A = this chain, B = another copy of it.
């Protein structure tokens, strides 16, 4: 399996887009963060490495990457959007209401759910996007201590 950056290059190319230095940088930042970055954070990280990259480029690139499916946009707890690199099919998130930590959980757990849904509702090419919101152990304890 190719790395995220290589497969991005390939996919963009296949669709007639170029992997420009700006796009590379944005992809690189997303890949490196391995997590959920807000637009603001992305702009910050990118400009830290190359201050000439403009905000509009970040917006345009994220839209492009989302379009081709390389990047996923999340809205947890009603907060501002965050972005993350899409590696495979697994997008399972555990979000803590207390500390706002986002954990990626084992994609095997909901594995058969997809098949059930496809069969039962006659939907095709389903991608699951599962967010479980609750309290992690630490936050649960500290909140009940209050």
Contact = CB atoms under 8 A, between A and B. Distances in A.
Given A66-B78, A121-B103, A114 B126 contact: no
Contacts of A131: 128-131
Interface residues of A, number: 36
Contacts of A136: 121-123
Interface string A115-141: 011101111111111111111110010
B125 A132 contact: no
A94 B123 contact: yes
B130 A130 contact: yes
A123 to B, nearest CB: 5
A73 B81 CA distance: 12
A36 B133 CA distance: 20
Nearest to A67: B78
B135 A123 contact: yes
